[in-house]
Each structure stands twice: as C-alpha cells, then as structure tokens.
Structure 1
C-alpha cells in the first residue's frame, strides 16, 4: 500500500475501521499521497471506485482544529452530491473537534448563515451558493488551503464553471486545487489545467472482474422488455435495481405499465423537481421502493449504496456509458449484477463491449417463475466457453438464480 492508514489522524483511522473497509482502492492508493504533498491534481476514476475518500481523507487530515475558519472547500454540481460528500466528511471527522457546514442552493439561507457563525473548518456546497456567500462577506476563505471540485465535467456542462472560477479567485494563490470526475474529457482537462499549477493527472480504470459484477443479457422484442423487466423484478428476491432509459420521454409510459403490474418504483428524470427528486432517492435508498427508473443525466453525482442490479432497459451509446452505468452496482468490491435487456440486433453491441472489457457475458432466461443463468459464457461476438461452478455461482443460486448447464 502506497499510503498507510496509520499515517492519518486517529479519528480518521477509527472512522475507517468502523466503516469496515479493509484496504485502499487503486485510486485511493495513487491519489492520496499526491494530495498529501499539496500538489494540484486531476483525478479520473469510474463510479464506484472510492473517489470521494480518495480526496476527502487527505483534505480532512490536514485540517487544524485550532483554526476557526474554513480551510477546505468541496464543490459539487448538485445538492444531492454535495450532501453525500458532507455526510462522508461528517462520518470521518467524528470525535475530532472539527466541524463543517453544507451550503447548497435552494436551502434556507438563514440556517446556513447560522452554521457559518460556528466557524466550520470544512465547507461542502454548490458553486453558486458558495460564491454568493463569499461575495456577501459571509464566508471567509483566506484560510482555505484546498479546493476540491467534484464531477468537474458536469460542472462545465451545467454552466457552473464561472462560479467555480470566482470562488477560486477569492482564495489565496498558494491553495491546492483538486479536480475529480468519473470521466475527464479534453474540455474538462483543458479547463482544469488553466486553473491549476502543474497538475498531476491520476487516472485509473475500474476492474469489473475484481469487483464481482456479473454481466448478463436477456433477449426479447422491444415491446416485451417491460414484461421481462417485471418478471426479473418479481422473481429476484431482495432486488434493488437501477433501470436506465435513454430519455425522459418514455419514462411515464414504462412506469405506468409496471405500476399497473403492481411493481413499486420511483422515477428520476432530469426534469424532476428538487422535492420529488429527494423523496424518490430517499425512498430507494431506504428500501421503500425496489426499483428506480432513471436516465443518465438524472443520476449524475449520485452515490447510492447496495444496488444489487443495474438494468440497461435501453442500450447505452458506447462502452464508456455502459461501464459508467454498470458501475452503479458492485461498488467497493461488493457483488452486483448487470442485466442488458436487448433485442437480437442490440446483442452484438453488448457482446462487443464486454469482450473489450474482458468480462464474461452470460445469458438469462425466465422459466417457471425463476431467473435462470446459463453456464455458457461469451467473451466476444462469436466466442463461447463453459464456466465452472464456483462460490459466486453458488451464491447466485441462493439469491433466487439457478444455473442451467
């Protein structure tokens, strides 16, 4: 391990052990030492690889409880992501004497001003609200040593890059900048390099084999996809599934059909109100609804633990989008299942993507009220071999899956 946990303050070690983590992930091993050396960073790592702790732990470890001013700023494009980061920071500063504040748009301003009066050492917020409080001289940033910009690509897409630049400009020039995202395109990298000083670029790819994610497919005509999804949900005990649809236009139609069949679900679309969005997310997290119908846009920045299944109801555009969606399950080394509901024409793309990723692809069938996963494995459009039964397959069987040889 490049960076030893024992080098962190005791409160971080205690929180780590309490969380049950065993070892740093690849991105944590590579990014933490660089950040502890106060280097500017550009971090690219897929969903589910532990990015939040990769930047939060070193930032929090450098906080001085004796300094009663903001020392670290975490900026996120959505209020949901900001609150997730805030929750992580709260968890890892327990019993440390450190305090934080969440400053997000759409929330009560007076409550946030009251939080700032308590002199928090770390701030998590959305760019617009943080900028507003700095400009109104309610948030002092002269002690800020580190600024983390999470989901940097989404910051640009949403048009918040101007707000971020103003926040950065308000701090001293020797502060550290850390840009983070699951995907860093050329535009995002150029923007980051414009603001940072000789940034170190840290990129890792998620190992979907090591993360215990099973990739499967079910073939049917497009008109039968809703019924196959219903059967999958009905006959998979304990399912907690994110179902991806390419646009919001057909969401209501699919949701109505599934609800008619007595399937409990939530709908998360890009045009959902903040109140509806938060209610649906909370219900899904808490297990009140087992299924979340969503688009890629609606899930940007969301970190929902213990998702058992990702279902590609409609096909991703490319392998990168396939990996990004699939990364919603099997997070931090847990087991998960990816199911592609495909027509015969769409199957070729899924086989090509999984072959490129070098992961097995198995066929699922629905027979006599059971989900059956065939033993035959495809590693490419025309290559098949047999996979021996192992512990993972045995576990799948106990979860309501059966293997057919």
Structure 2
C-alpha cells in the first residue's frame, strides 16, 4: 500500500506525483504515528512534503488554535514552505501564517489574533512574538525544525529549545536536514523522546544527474572579476556561495558597477528586494545569484547548472550541502571552487572522499577549459614552422679542371 493512502481523501485527491519519494515513504507514516523524528535526506529529495502532508492530515482547521509550528533558518525557506501549505490547503478550513523578519510585525500580530492553524517562521521573529505573548505556544502539538543543522547550532539553539519547551505536553518534534552531525544528534535527543532515525542517501534518489567537481586557481583579488566573466557564459545558471555578508555586499557593489549579469541575496535585504532578486534570477535576467549559506537555505530553484564556491566552505557537510543543489531531477551539473593559494590544502581535505578527483580548469579564450597554464599553453600554442631545407646543388665547374 502506498503511504499516500494513509492520508485523508482531500490530500489523496491533490496528489499528482507518480510515486512518493523515499523520505516521504519513511516520514509520513512515522509522523502520523506521532513519533519524534531525526531525518537526514539530500537537498531536493522531497523533505518539505514529507512533513507538511502529515501535519495537514493531523490538524483541524475548525479549531481556533495554532496546532503546528514550522521553524526555518531563512525568510526564503519559510515563504516557500508557506506557499506549499497554501497550495495543499486551498478550499479547506486550514489556515497558515508566516512570521518572518523584514515584514510588518503589527500586521503579523493582527493575523495571530485569528489563531492560524499552522505558523511558519524564522527564529528571531518567532521568539520576539512568543516573548511578547502574541504567539501562543502552549497549544502547539507538532514542532518541525527544517534545516536543523542551522537551527540547532549555537546561534539559535537556546531560542529553538524555548519553542519546544513552550509547546503542548507530549508534543511531537521533527527535525530534518541534508546534513545531521553527531553534535546535532546529541542536542536533538535531549529535546526529543526516543526519536526515530531516518536516513536517505544520495544513491536512494531517483534520476540524479552526473555532477562534475572542478576548481580554478585564482588570486583572492581576482575572484570577483572571474564571476563577472562567468556571468556572460551562455547556458550558465549558477548559485555562488560566499562565507559572509560583507563579501556579498562588496561583490554586489563591484559587479553592479560593471553591469554584470549577477544578483545577490543577503539577510539585510528587505522582503520585497529579496523577492525581486529571486524573480530576476529565476527568469534568466541574471546568470549568477551570490549568497551566503543562510540566505540560500532551502531555495527551490530549478535548472541550476552550476554551484560556485567563491569562498571554500569550512566543513565537508557545508561543501556537500552547497554542491547538492545542482545535478537534480536527472540533469547534469558542475561544482566549481575558486581556490586562492591558501585555500588549496583545505579544498583537498573537503574533496578527498569524492568518487572522482576534482578537475583543474583555467580561464582561456573566453571560457573555462580543462587544464592549467602549462598544459593549455602547450596545447594551444601554434606549432613552429619547420625551416625550409634548401636542396644542395654543387656549384658549376665549367671549364675548370679537377685537381
């Protein structure tokens, strides 16, 4: 029996996929049974529906109380989850409210008075409204932490714990992410009751494309210009990662000055600015979207041809999480790392367990090509013409004598 048949008739009628993804097959029945869950599954594996559908099956839209809380580390991810819920609840009594920073809090408070069935939000705004007594946690029966590796990091851990502690007695706690470290598991188990462990590996995913890993050796000061050049490459649609907001803003200023086909995403942007940026990237006006890991969390962007590590990630999990955004739905993809001299040693550690050794590339004749400065120069240099060999003809000895 398909897990879809465990859902109510309304949800079954809206199901249009051929078959559930593996994470959905595992999580839907476990959530319906009320189990606490720690789920690890690759980016793009169907995690959102895996927790949204059981929630929609369990909540009662006629009850005027907030029954489920979904926490996300970024505004974009929160908005995407809300859009999914709205699509699946159309025509029902179930209501959803997003509570994110950058939006009018007074308006959000007014909507909370109507007791939305489900609340989706970012830690900062949720904490602000909960502490003010506007968000009533005591009636929440299900708490979901999406991208839990971020939410259970030291930055958010205390706040997120307060959401769980404030929820109803016997509440269900579900945490999901593409990467779950041992530290995260230890923290999670302190907040949960005998959690069920679910792991979906990349090889369990259907129709995964071939992903090539490559690198370019480039001075730190030249990375921005290399991004500019790549932004004019035909057919490229890339997500480029940097490690902090300052770098995003600096690159944005330089690249806008040079009219590069690049947009940026960071936490200091207003909601409308973020939406405009994503729209420009999705419709192809911009070829490259530059962002930090947090700003890009959970972004659902189809057709990414490349992931670019402008700054080398700090951990293997971070490298895999970023890289997993290309090569999805059967399409091939490429992961490119920009390596300054100081990055090379770290990059080798991050990629030593890849099935194939990363390929070195170099910018040559308007494109990235495989090789390095020596091999490309050797292969493309015009061959020297052979010197003309004059045929030796002995001088004439007319009238002379041999002597």
TM-score (structure 1 length as normaliser): 0.76
Query: Aligned equivalents of 2:350 and 2:132: distance in 1?
Result: 50
Deviation at 1:209, TM superposition (A): 9.5
Write the deviation string for residues 217-265 of structure 1: whole angstroms up to 9, x where unpaired.
254443655554444332322x321112344455455445544553121
Rate the CA distance shift 1:341–1:71 in 2: closer, same or farther, 3 A.
same
Write the deviation string for residues 268-312 of structure 1: whole angstroms up to 9, x where unpaired.
346656665554344334444221122334434444443232112
Indicate conservation of the 8 Å contact 1:70/1:121, yes or no: yes
Please list every run of 5 or more consecutive structure 2 residues that lacks an aligned counterpart in the other structure.
372-403
**Structure 1 residue matching 2:230: 3-state secondary structure:** helix
Indicate conservation of the 8 Å contact 2:209/2:328, yes or no: no
The correspondence for 1:41, drawn from 37, 41, 48, is: 37
Specify the alignment match of 2:65 in structure 1: 69
Greater mean alpha carbon deviation, residues 152-161 or residues 305-314 = 152-161
Rate the CA distance shift 1:160–1:311 in 2: closer, same or farther, 3 A.
closer
Indicate conservation of the 8 Å contact 2:218/2:338, yes or no: no
| Alignment RMSD | 3.5
Rate the CA distance shift 1:37–1:357 in 2: closer, same or farther, 3 A.
farther
Determine if the alignment matches structure 1 residue 339 to structure 2 residue 347: no
Query: Aligned equivalents of 1:83 and 1:178: distance in 2?
Result: 19
The correspondence for 1:154, drawn from 150, 155, 158, is: 150
Query: Aligned equivalents of 2:317 and 2:306: distance in 1?
Result: 18
Query: Aligned equivalents of 1:157 and 1:214: distance in 2?
Result: 29
Indicate conservation of the 8 Å contact 2:207/2:329, yes or no: no
Determine if the alignment matches structure 1 residue 356 to structure 2 residue 348: no
Rate the CA distance shift 1:32–1:332 in 2: closer, same or farther, 3 A.
farther
Larger Rg: 2
Rate the CA distance shift 1:216–1:258 in 2: closer, same or farther, 3 A.
farther
Indicate conservation of the 8 Å contact 2:189/2:195, yes or no: yes
Query: Aligned equivalents of 1:106 and 1:367: distance in 2?
Result: 43
How many residue pairs match? The answer is: 369
Determine if the alignment matches structure 1 residue 236 to structure 2 residue 234: yes
Please list every run of 5 or more consecutive structure 1 residues that lacks an aligned counterpart in the other structure.
375-405
Specify the alignment match of 1:188 in structure 2: 184
Specify the alignment match of 1:294 in structure 2: 291
Determine if the alignment matches structure 1 residue 323 to structure 2 residue 320: yes
TM-score (structure 2 length as normaliser): 0.76
**Structure 2 residue matching 1:102: 3-state secondary structure:** strand
Indicate conservation of the 8 Å contact 1:49/1:331, yes or no: no
Specify the alignment match of 2:400 in structure 1: none
